[in-house]
Homo-oligomer: A and B are copies of this chain.
Amino acid sequence: MVKGVDKVGLGGSIRAVERETLNDRVYRELRTMIMSGGFAPGSEMKLRDLAQSLHVSPMPVRDAIGRLVVERALKMLPNHRVIVPETTIDEFLEIRRVRILLEGEAAALACQHVSPDVIASLKRIHEKIKSLSGNKQRQFWALNQEFHFTVYEAAKSPLILSMIESLWLQIGPVFNHIPINLTSEGARGHQRIIAALGAGDAKAARAALTEDLMKGGDRIIAALIQDKQPAH
């Protein structure tokens, strides 16, 4: 009954100081599911349903949903019902505009902090993407995400990183639920980003990233238009 006995691990490692609350767990789980396409755009997020499937009370779910609404990952209708947003083309363009600003800035900043490790990681992910066969949209999206965030983390700006995360969260459902024509073009864009970072050329890095987002965005927009007119 001696206090603190459970803090001195016999295995030699002190107990992790991080306390994982249910709030945080639910928030992180929902976040991951949204980002990876776990929910279709337009689907309703019902408190009690989610609570039951996550085996918690409605309260932490409510909390997590509230947070996600603030960062626009979910949308609250006037009825106070919460849905995964259905992104219009205008909204997508709006997001892309901001992404170019922030992710371009991050790429430029990354040039000041880039290390051989980062370059190596980027090349490794790049190879994985190139070796992706067929139209494996989900895998492409996940690897693409890994590639981009490797760059953004190198920028060493927690504020910019969190804002970019929020933007990706908003377009996650689109990427994962609209069938996109994946060509191998995207690879060249990543190649240019790696080159610019390797050279420490901030201007080139921003330009390369901007072009990547523009090209990729154009494909999404085309898919969005096609998706809106299923007939004929």
- On A, residues with C-beta under 8 Å from B are 17-19, 21, 23, 62-63, 66-67, 70-72, 78, 80, 91, 94-95, 97-98, 101-102, 105, 157-160, 162-163
Cross-chain contact B94 with A101 (CB below 8 angstroms): no
Cross-chain contact A71 with B71 (CB below 8 angstroms): yes
Cross-chain contact B66 with A157 (CB below 8 angstroms): no
Q: Which of B17, B63, B72, B102 contacts A162 (CB 8 A)?
A: B72
Q: How far is the CB of A99 from chain B (nearest CB, A)?
A: 10
Q: Which of B17, B80, B94, B157 contacts A160 (CB 8 A)?
A: B94
Q: Which of B18, B66, B98 contacts A66 (CB 8 A)?
A: B66
Per assembly, the copies of the chain total 2
Q: Considering only CB atoms, which chain B residue lies closest to A18 in the complex?
A: B78
8 closest A-B pairs by beta carbon, nearest first, are A67-B70, A101-B101, A94-B159, A70-B70, A94-B157, A63-B66, A66-B67, A70-B71
Cross-chain contact A163 with B163 (CB below 8 angstroms): yes
Residues of B within 8 A of A91 (CB): 159
Q: Considering only CB atoms, which chain B residue lies closest to A158 in the complex?
A: B94
Q: Which of B19, B97, B157 contacts A105 (CB 8 A)?
A: B97
18 pairs of residues in contact across A and B, judged by CB atoms under 8 Å? A18-B78, A21-B80, A63-B66, A66-B67, A67-B67, A67-B70, A70-B70, A70-B71, A91-B159, A94-B160, A95-B159, A97-B157, A98-B102, A98-B160, A98-B163, A101-B101, A101-B105, A163-B163
Q: Considering only CB atoms, which chain B residue lies closest to A94 in the complex?
A: B159
Residues of B within 8 A of A21 (CB): 80
Q: How far is the CB of A169 from chain B (nearest CB, A)?
A: 11
- How distant is the Cα of A129 from the Cα of B102 in the complex, in angstroms? 32
Q: Considering only CB atoms, which chain B residue lies closest to A156 in the complex?
A: B94
Residues of B within 8 A of A102 (CB): 98, 101
- How distant is the Cα of A141 from the Cα of B100 in the complex, in angstroms? 30
Q: Considering only CB atoms, which chain B residue lies closest to A90 in the complex?
A: B157
Residues of B within 8 A of A62 (CB): 63
